[in-house]
Amino acid sequence: SSSANAVAQGLGFEPVMTNRVDTVTVPKGYRATPFLPWGTPLTANAPEFRSDASNSALDQARQVGSHHDGMHFFPIDVKKGGDSSVEGLLVMNHEYVDPDILHSDGPSQPPRPQDEVFKELMGHGVSVAHIRQQRGGEWILVKNSPYNRRITGNTPMAMAGPVTGDDKLITKYSPDGTSTRGTINNCAHGFTPWGTYLTCEENWAGCFMNDDSEQPREHARYGVRQGNSRYYWETAAPASDDTDRFNASILADSPTEDYRNEPNHFGWIVEIDPFNPRSTPVKRSMLGRFAHEGVVFAPPVEGEPLVAYSGDDARFEYIYKFVSAKPYHQATASGDLLNDGKLYVARFNDDGSGQWLALDINDPVFMAQAQSAGVDFATQADVLLNTRLAADVAGATKMDRPEWGAVHPQTGEVYFTLTNNTRRSEAQTDAANPRAENAYGHIVRWREAESQQAEHFAWDIFLLGGDVGTSTPDTAITLTEENHFACPDGLWFDHQSRLWIQTDMSGPTMQQGPFGNNGMLAADPVSGELKRFLVGPVDCEITGVVTTPDSKTMFVNVQHPGESSGPGEFSSHWPDGNGLRPRSSTIVITRDDGGVIGA
Ligand code: FEO
Ligand code: CA
Ligand code: CA
Ligand code: CA
C-alpha cells in the first residue's frame, strides 16, 4: 500500500541518542516536566501524597492512580465544538500496581490485609483531571473542580450490548446480570467522536482464580488462574464481597450466591463520560471480550457506519474490527452506536491481501466453521463472551501480540504495533509475522478496500524493530543510531499525521539490549523519516501520548519507572530523586520557542 494522498510533514528536531540515565531526555530546545504523578491529590478533600507510601486505601481512592497508561486530552469546550489548547480534561488509565512500591514495606503475605487489597484496587482504573495552562506556560491541576474524578476497581458500572442480562453474568452482586463493579488492568484507551473516553481491560484474567476441577471456557481460554490470583485479592481479611469476587470457583448452590461468573464481567471496553462526573461507566460488550489493549476509531463519516479497531495483547492472539449497525450522525451519536453491529477478526494472507471474518451468530459461514470445529455458540452473547474461541474457529491470523492501533487521519490506513513474541517458531512464521523468536517486534499496516467498513484490505509491513542495520523490505527503512528500537507498543497519529511510536521492552531486551531505556520515536510515514524523540528513566515503559489541538503541548506517560525494585530498594528514583520511591507520572513536553511538537 502507499500513502499517495498524504503529504510529508518532516521531523524538525535533533534525534536523542539511547541512554540508561534515570531521567527523561528530550531533544535540544524541548523541555519535559513531570505532572500528576501517582498519589497526587485529585478529588476534593484528597490528602497529600506521603513519600513513604503510607497513604491508606481511602486516600488512594482520591489520589491519582498508579501505572499511568493510555490517555486523552478533551478540550474543555469540545462539546460545544471548541478546541481549547489551554484548558481541558486529561483522562488517563492506571494499568496496574506494584505492591513493592505501593505499600511502605511491600505487600504482606496472604491472607492479605483488607486495607492493602483495597489500596491496590483503588490504584487501578482511570483519573479524570481538569487541567489548565497558566500564563507563564505551566500546566496545573484545577483544584476542587467538579470534573476531577477517580474510577477504580470498585466503581459501580453497567453492562450494555448483547451480553447484558445473560445467565453467565449472574453474580451475587448482579442477580440479573446487568450491573457490575470496577475496572482493572486498564492498558490503552480510546475516545469516541461524541466526547467520551474508553478504557480497555487487558491483563484482568490473572486477578482471578478458579479452583474447580474444570474451568468453563470463558475462564480457561483467558488464563484465569488456579490456586491463587496474581495479588491474592481473594484472601483479603476480613473478607468482603468486594474481594471475595476474585475467587470464581463454584462455592454455593446458585450463581446468585457466589462469584463463579465474576470474570465474565471483565475483558471489556468501558465507556466513561468525563464531562458528567455522576455518570455510570458502561461496559460495551459488542466490542468483544479479550485482553483489550486499546481501541481506535477511523475518522467518522456522516451517514456511514462507525468503524473501530482493537488488539488482543497476548501471544498468538488477534486484531479485531467493529462496524456499527446504525450509521453515524454527528448530531445524535452516542454510546448506543456501540451496542449493535458486527465484530470481525483479521486474516492476513501471505500474498498481501487480507480479510475481515465476521464473528456473528447470524453468519452461516461462521456458524458452519463453528460446527465443523465442534464448538457450540447458542447466542451472540455466547460468541462475545468467548471472542477468542470465536476467532480461532473463524481462522484468523495469530499475531505477535497486537498492542495499539492508529488510523492515518488523511489516508485511513491503519497501523498496528506487534510488540514481540519470542515463542513463535520458524514453522509458525507467516508473511505478517515473519520472524521466529520475534524479540524486537514490528508494525503492520493496511488499507481497507472500498471504504473503511470493507471486508477486504491490502497490507504490508511498515517497520521491523531491531538493532542498527535492520531493514524493512516493504518500506526500505533501515534503522540507524538515531532510531533503532524494540518492542513498539503505544502508537498515535498527531494532528499533522506524524506517527509517534512508544516502546515497552522488558527482560533481556531491556536490560542487555543495545537500545538503552524505553522511549519514543516519531515517524513520517510518507518520507520514511524516523527519529528517536525521547528516552525515559530507568526500568520504565513509555506509554500514552496526546497533544493539545494546537500541537504545542504534548502529554506522555512514564509507566513503572524502577520496575525491578524490591521493597525499600529502588532501581529508579524518578521523578522525585533523593533516594525516594519511583512514581509513574505524566510528563508535559513543550518547545522553548512555543512551536509545534515534532515539527
Ligand atoms: Fe498493557 Fe499490552 O500493554
Ligand atoms: Ca501497552
Ligand atoms: Ca506492552
Ligand atoms: Ca512494561
β-bridge pairing 296-297 and 305-311:
antiparallel
**What is the CA(489)–ligand 3 centre distance, in A?**
5
Q: Does the pTM exceed 0.95?
A: yes
CB 584 within 8 A of CB 68: yes
Average pLDDT of adjacent 10-residue blocks, the chain of 599 residues: 68 98 98 99 96 98 98 97 98 98 97 98 98 97 98 98 98 98 98 98 98 98 98 98 98 98 99 98 99 98 98 99 98 98 98 98 98 98 99 98 97 98 98 98 98 98 98 98 99 97 97 97 97 98 98 98 92 98 98 98
**pLDDT for 225:** 97
| Adjacent-strand bridge partners of 89 | 74, 130
- Residues composing the chain: 599
CB 125 within 8 A of CB 187: no
**What is the CA(332)–ligand 3 centre distance, in A?**
36
Taking the C-alpha atoms of residue 9 and residue 499, their distance in angstroms, rounded to an integer, is 10
**What is the CA(487)–ligand 4 centre distance, in A?**
10
| Adjacent-strand bridge partners of 32 | 589
Q: What is the pLDDT of residues 88-135, one digit of tens each?
A: 999 999 999 999 999 999 999 999 999 999 999 999 999 999 999 999
- What is the secondary structure of 424-440 as a DSSP string? --GGG-BTTB--TTBSS
Taking the C-alpha atoms of residue 39 and residue 104, their distance in angstroms, rounded to an integer, is 13
Fold of 30-78+97-332+398-591: Neuraminidase (2.120.10)
**What is the CA(503)–ligand 2 centre distance, in A?**
9
Rg of the chain over CA atoms, in angstroms?
Answer: 23
Taking the C-alpha atoms of residue 442 and residue 427, their distance in angstroms, rounded to an integer, is 19
The atom number, within ligand 1, closest to the CA of 313 reads 2
Cell of 42: 485529585
Buried (b) or exposed (e) across 496-524, using 16+ Cβ within 10 A? bbbbbbbbbbbeebbeebebbbbbbbbbb
**What is the CA(503)–ligand 3 centre distance, in A?**
8
Q: Which residues contact 268 (CB under 8 A, 6 or more apart)?
A: 201, 283, 284, 285, 287, 289, 292
Q: Is the minimum distance from the CB of 313 to ligand 1 under 6 angstroms?
A: yes
Q: Is the minimum distance from the CB of 202 to ligand 1 under 6 angstroms?
A: yes
β-bridge pairing 585-591 and 554-559:
antiparallel
Cell of 133: 495552562
**pLDDT for 8:** 84
Taking the C-alpha atoms of residue 289 and residue 309, their distance in angstroms, rounded to an integer, is 13
**pLDDT for 568:** 86
**pLDDT for 1:** 40
Q: What is the pLDDT of residues 423-460, one digit of tens each?
A: 999 999 999 999 999 999 999 999 999 999 999 999 99
**pLDDT for 4:** 54
Q: Name the percent of the chain in helix, strand, coil, to the closest 5.
A: 15, 30, 55
Q: Is the minimum distance from the CB of 382 to ligand 1 under 6 angstroms?
A: no
CB 156 within 8 A of CB 181: yes
The atom number, within ligand 1, closest to the CA of 202 reads 1
Buried (b) or exposed (e) across 96-114, using 16+ Cβ within 10 A? bbbbbbbbeebbeeeebbb
**What is the CA(403)–ligand 3 centre distance, in A?**
7
Q: Is the minimum distance from the CB of 95 to ligand 1 under 6 angstroms?
A: yes
Q: Which ipTM did the prediction report?
A: 0.95
Q: Whose CA is nearest to atom 1 of ligand 1?
A: 187
The atom number, within ligand 1, closest to the CA of 403 reads 2
**pLDDT for 467:** 98
Tell me: cis bond preceding 434? Omega within 30 of 0 counts.
no
Taking the C-alpha atoms of residue 295 and residue 200, their distance in angstroms, rounded to an integer, is 7
The residue extents of the domains of the chain are 30-78+97-332+398-591
Q: Is the minimum distance from the CB of 403 to ligand 1 under 6 angstroms?
A: yes
